Structure 1
Amino acid sequence: MTSLGEAARAVLLTPDPHDKRRAARSLARAWRQGRLDHRCDVAMPYQPAWPATPELLPPNQMPRRRKGGSERGRIALLHALAHIEFVAIDLAVDLIGRFGGEFPRQFVDDWIGVAADEAMHFALLDRRLRGLGSHYGALPAHAGLWEAAQLTVDDALARLAIVPMVLEARGLDVTPATIDRFQGVGDEVSARILARIYSDEIRHVSAGTVWFGWLCDERGFNVVETWQSLVKSRFRGALKPPFNDSARRDAGLTQEFYAVIAS
């Protein structure tokens, strides 16, 4: 039987986006079928294997996306979202392989589900891009999305604080307006995809919040104060309103966490 760590490492070292997507789904299936030992006994790579395209650019060099509902603008937005979901596969799998041994099996169950969701999200977005005459890799993409993982390789608590509870929570803030934007130009196909992703991301943020709280309890830490301290020390950015308070609350991320430290 292969260990969970070995299987997670194999996903991270798969460069082709579609092979990685399939590998993440296979990882989830193998875990659910009991074919993987709950052992995280191998080192995770500091940087996953990624394809030659898209070209990755620093945030300040990314082309500005045009406002409005042109097909070109919608393709650029969908491509950016596809890249987020592609990196999110590795973020979920790295969390499992790097830290899964510190938690009970339910933690792995939850994050295996997240990894499978991210793989499905990527597939939906890439399929939509192809329906519009493009594909993932056709445009440049943001180079900084993996930075949060690199800044939190030493501590599961920091990883949970930053990736699901800051980065994915930000998706809850901005996605409803993006759905409205697609609906406003009659692109109901893209809007439905984003609505599905939005619903799943509430569960992902909830998983982050639950397991952050669990680990704080294990270590005897105050949950809210610890999260605020980690965001201040580990997140390179600012928490900026507007916030989708209702969706965050549904995920267990209440205003007491972020209101006092938001810029």
Structure 2
Amino acid sequence: MEMNSDKALKHDRSVMFAKRPKVLIVGAGIGGLTLGMLLHKANIPFEIYERAAVVKPLVGADGAYSAVRQGLYDKLKKAGRLPPADALPLPFNSVCLVGQTRPLTAEEFPDIWVTFTTAQNTVVFDIVQSLTNETSKENDAFKNSEWGPEAALPMCQQVKDFPIVSGGDKKLTLGDLFAWTSWDQVSKVMLEEKVFKTWYDCRTVLIGDACHKFSPSGGVGATHAMHDAIVLANRINGLPFHPIAEEIVTMFKEYQEERIDWVIKGFESSKVFKSMAGQHQKRPDS
């Protein structure tokens, strides 16, 4: 086919079929799914890729170990364009055990109808362990990709005798919750804290835990991931048809500029809540 050389070398939208950019979303966490939902409403084509073969009611927030970010940072590091702070390992000072029981009756857990309730009448629990320099080293080998009972069981054994409030006369402990919980509904996750400086490059952009990881004590991690998705979806929707690379990079830059101040405030407030909630309690037999 013979091409008109004058038009072939020019990015002329007037002679191109009107087409929205296609978005590839890696990770079906709350941020990725929110972004997909918003793109769907805007009639922007997208695909979502997720490594987990089965969707569980409990998921570990492993976006901090995003393969996309690691690949992006490797490329930037080789090119000498990665800020030194982004090349440092993720810092963490606590681990968390999360789980969800089977549906409970009011006889088993009287407060099931009042507090701690899900739509299925289950109890969702989390136990946070603050780490010292020594215990932090002991957990260095643990990776979020190693979820499962073999990672969670030692921590369950360590805290099983701690009392819980159930609303009834019977004295219950965390061990009772564990007994009501299937092992595939328990995860052990690392609690890292970091706001990365680099959120995008060329046609790749990061959202959620992949670019900012909060302590869960502040309860804002999921909220910020959804806000990222909203801002990014709006920015993508504002792109012209057939955007060129410079327009995409400018859009990513505007997305980060709109979000960064809110992210830093959320990060700082989460650290305050962590210090308030991280006080140690003595075991009942000590």
More helix by share: 1
Larger radius of gyration: 2
TM-score (normalised: structure 1): 0.30
Higher relative CO (Cα under 8 Å, sequence separation at least 6) belongs to 2
Higher strand proportion (structure 1 or 2): 2
TM-score by length of 2: 0.28
